[in-house]
Amino acid sequence: MTLLSIRDLRTQFMTEGGLVRAVDGISLSVGAGETVAVVGESGCGKSVTALSILRLIASPPGRIAGGTIEFEGLDLLSMPEKAMRRIRGKKIAMVFQEPQTSLHPVFTVGFQVAEPLLLHEKISRRAGRARAIELLRRVGIADPESRVDDYPHQLSGGMKQRAMIAMALACKPSLLIADEPTTALDVTVQSQILALLKDLQRDLGMSVLLITHDLGIVAEVADRVAVMYAGRIVETADVRALFASPRHPYTVGLFDSLPRVGEIRARLRAIPGQVPDPAAFPEGCRFHPRCPLAIDRCRSEVPLLREISPGHASACHRAEEVKR
Amino acid sequence: MSGEPLLSVRGLKKHFLVRRGFLGASSARLRAVDGVSLSVREGETLGLVGESGCGKTTLGRAILRLLPPTAGTVRFRGRDLSELSGSELRAVRRRMQIVFQDPYGSLDPRMTAGSIVAEGLAIHRIGSRSERRARADALLERVGIPASHAGRHPHEFSGGQRQRIGIARALALDPEFIVCDEPVSALDVSIQAQILNLLADLQSERRLAYLFISHDLRVVEHVSERVAVMYLGRIVEEAGSKDLYDRPGHPYTRALLAAVPIPDPERKRVRIILPGEIPSPMNPPPGCPFHPRCSIARDRCRTEVPILRAPSPGRRVSCFFAEDYEGAPAAEG
């Protein structure tokens, strides 16, 4: 069953350098209970996609220029802002990369965790505090009875991220959007947080849209993957199929760029060139200037995302020839 | 493994006094680096891994005397840096350079790429102005920046290009040793690979030695012949790269390796979850600093500090019970 369905989403920003087509016609769906990872490098549009779903694009300079986003049968983009506020934080919650800037410094952790409940469920402050303690315990914060009165600066980075997750889960959302939730954390804390997210997802039956640049994390937690490059989805597949037989030269390039376990001091097959500037994406296939398979057709004709095998789609004119 | 190492560090400490209380009425000692010994041979890479706050960056800076050490000695080609006069120290420092993590913050935004690279030459009064310019152009070309871009300012370059400029700057004075402090951590994956390849090429061309500091275990494994693991200001294990990754001897190394996500969905997703977080270096635990998080800690670990010892040739480990792990593979929980 499809929970979230994005069709031909276009999000643009007006900047001094001209119109930036940050997200340029992407389609993506998330099923109930499913974890979908959106993976890509800086400027590919993955975070803008997440913010577009929640209609958190600042306007101006940004605007959602086209497409539809359906969630539980409702069209989020045509919904009045007041109705949207009942979705945000209640039905769809979000966890950001930087817990230090996402928590408000002058309110206690307990208040911030309880805030969505006070807002959406209109419970009393006393009940809110009790629920906050419960939630903090559920996300693995030791001694939640005293931590509930702490201010964010009294918590470590890992604990702040746990508190953010507690806040996101307060209203038992059906979709959690996690934007690089562990990027600012140490590797041992990262593994704790990823394990926590998986446990919670299983217990609550929630869907997760995970935004990340790390293919290791994708392999560990995702069911399905969408690879983004320069504002477009270039490949989408089941996680096993994507890792076993990628069908887009960019995906192959990403895998080849990773140092392999057990391969000491071997040369990496890096992708040549630069990550493109969103204000000046190349014509045709946006990956063509860096692509080893590029032909004339790639320079002029935009390749559409097409199914190569059931559930596996690639936006490459030469997808059938791509090999890892 | 013959002769004097290029760089030899013995018992290095760097403590900071941190003011606390009302208007700094009291102070506490932060032991960022607390007795580190290591050596780096000509042309080799020693990887230094650890999590945030373990002291790896401070160690790199204390070795270069960018931060004055609290105790210990640093010898470069056998000469104790603390015993050198000002002009001698400057001469030795030409041979020791650093590449920083942040390609945005580490380049002066008002200078051109060419003058950033040539600055060290100017400070050391090497060559005429035009010779310096020619040398900067050649270095930029070598790291993959067209010399025609030498007149551009840092903001006109991408993150990866800025890191290339930082590398060209480090090369200007013909160093033998470079501290690479998280040189690819701020870069996209596809650009990381380009920079790692560049560093490897320069190393073989110029017989450079690197101290490669990173929190990324996969990157460190890839670039290093030997790897040292830091925890709370100390080295807890050091071994050849393959040995360390195949058969980690210290429980912290094992936990660290097990926590790295493996980009392979077919692998069994079993892992050690290391409980808790790194304690504050202002108030380290008694005994073995790792014992509160260690799965095999016993009474002895709570009271007695394990010293770095060599249970087998080429390996140093500071754990009383490292032998219990001998021969055990790394990845399982």
The mean per-residue pLDDT over the stretch B133-152 comes to 96
Beta bridge partners of residue A53, listed in sequence order: none
In a domain, B234, yes or no: yes
Angstroms from A27 CA to nearest CA on chain B: 24
* CB nearest B241 (choices: A222, A257, A264): A264
Burial of B33 (0-12, 13-18, 19+ CB in 10 A): buried
Q: Is residue A294 within 8 Å of A300, Cβ to Cβ?
A: no
In this structure, what token pair is assigned to residue B28? 């506490």
pLDDT for the residue numbered B104: 78
DSSP output for B227-279: EEEEETTEEEEEEEHHHHHHS--SHHHHHHHHHSPPS-TTS--------S-PP
CA torsion through residues A252, A254, A255, A260, sign: positive
**B246: left (phi > 0), else alpha (psi -120 to 50), else beta?**
alpha
Chain B CB contacts of A274 under 8 Å are 158, 160-161, 191
Nearest-Cα distance to chain A for B128, in Å, is: 34
Structure tokens at A304: 């559409």
pLDDT of residue B2: 53
Is the CB of A186 inside 8 Å of chain B's CB atoms?
Answer: yes
Q: How far apart are CA B304 and CA B302, in angstroms?
A: 6
State the Cα–Cα distance between residues B32 and B54, nearest whole angstrom. Answer: 7
What is the residue extent of each domain of chain A?
Answer: 2-91+173-321, 101-172
Residue B51 and residue A240: Cβ atoms within 8 Å? no
Per this entry, what is the length of chain B? 333
Residue B141 lies in a domain: no
Residue-wise pLDDT tens for chain A (324 aa)? Answer: 899 999 999 999 998 888 999 999 999 999 999 999 999 998 899 999 999 999 999 888 999 999 999 999 999 999 999 999 999 988 999 998 877 778 888 999 999 999 989 888 888 989 999 999 989 988 888 888 989 999 998 888 888 888 999 999 888 899 999 999 888 788 888 888 888 888 889 888 999 999 999 999 999 999 999 999 999 999 999 999 999 999 999 999 999 999 876 666 678 888 999 888 888 899 999 999 999 999 999 999 999 999 999 999 999 999 999 988
Quick one: pLDDT at residue B130? 94
Cβ partners under 8 Å of residue A157, min gap 6:
A99, A100, A184, A185, A186, A189, B52
Residue B266, pLDDT above cutoff 80: yes
CB-nearest partner of B265 from A243, A256, A266: A243
- C-alpha A176/C-alpha A35 separation (Å) is 9
Is B122 inside a domain boundary? no
User: With bands split at pLDDT 50, 70 and 90, how would you rate the model's confidence at B1?
Assistant: very low
CB contact under 8 A, A259 and B262: no
The more confidently predicted of residues A82 and B19 is A82
The pTM assigned to this predicted structure is: 0.90
Pull the structure tokens for residue A47.
């975070």
Domain with B291 in it = 7-95+175-325
Judge: B190–A262 Cβ closer than 8 Å, yes or no: no
Return the pLDDT at B101: 87
Query: Do the bridges between strand B234-240 and strand A232-238 make them parallel or antiparallel, or are there none, so unpaired?
Result: unpaired
Q: How many domains does chain B divide into?
A: 1
Q: A292 — contact with chain B (CB < 8 Å)?
A: no
The shares of helix, strand and coil residues in chain B, as percent rounded to the nearest 5, are 35, 25, 40
Q: Which CATH architecture has domain A2-91+173-321?
A: 3-Layer(aba) Sandwich (3.40)
Is A192 an interface residue toward B (CB < 8 Å)? yes
Radius of gyration (C-alpha) of chain A in whole angstroms: 21
- Phi first, then psi: give them for residue A29, nearest 5 degrees: -130, 155
- What local confidence, expressed as pLDDT, does residue A72 receive? 94
- Give pLDDT, residue A138: 85
pLDDT, position B327: 46
Q: How far is A110 from chain B (nearest CA, A)?
A: 21
State the nearest Cα–Cα gap between A253 and chain B, in angstroms.
7
Question: Given CB atoms, is A195 within the 8 Å cutoff of chain B?
Answer: yes
Q: How confident is the model at residue B270 (pLDDT cuts 50, 70, 90)?
A: low
What's the CATH number where B249 sits? 3.40.50.300
A151 touches chain B (CB under 8 A): no
- Quick check: A209 and A177 in contact, CB under 8 A? yes
pLDDT digits (tens, 9 = 90+) for B84-141: 988 899 899 999 999 998 877 889 999 999 999 999 999 999 999 999 999 999 999 9
Residue type, A167: M
Region of residue B174 (left: phi > 0; alpha: psi -120 to 50; beta: else): left
Strands A175-179 and A74-75: unpaired
| Residue B41 pLDDT | 96
Give the pLDDT score at B326: 54
State chain B's mean pLDDT as an integer. 90
| Strongest mean pLDDT among A149-158, A160-169, B15-24, B57-66 | B57-66
What number is the average pLDDT over the span B301-319? 93
Asked if the Cβ–Cβ distance from A188 to B158 is below 8 Å, we say no
Task: Select the residue of A194, A261, A266 nearest B218 (Cβ to Cβ).
Answer: A261
Size of interface A-B (CB pairs under 8 A): 138
Is A191 in the B-facing interface, judged by CB distances under 8 Å?
Answer: yes
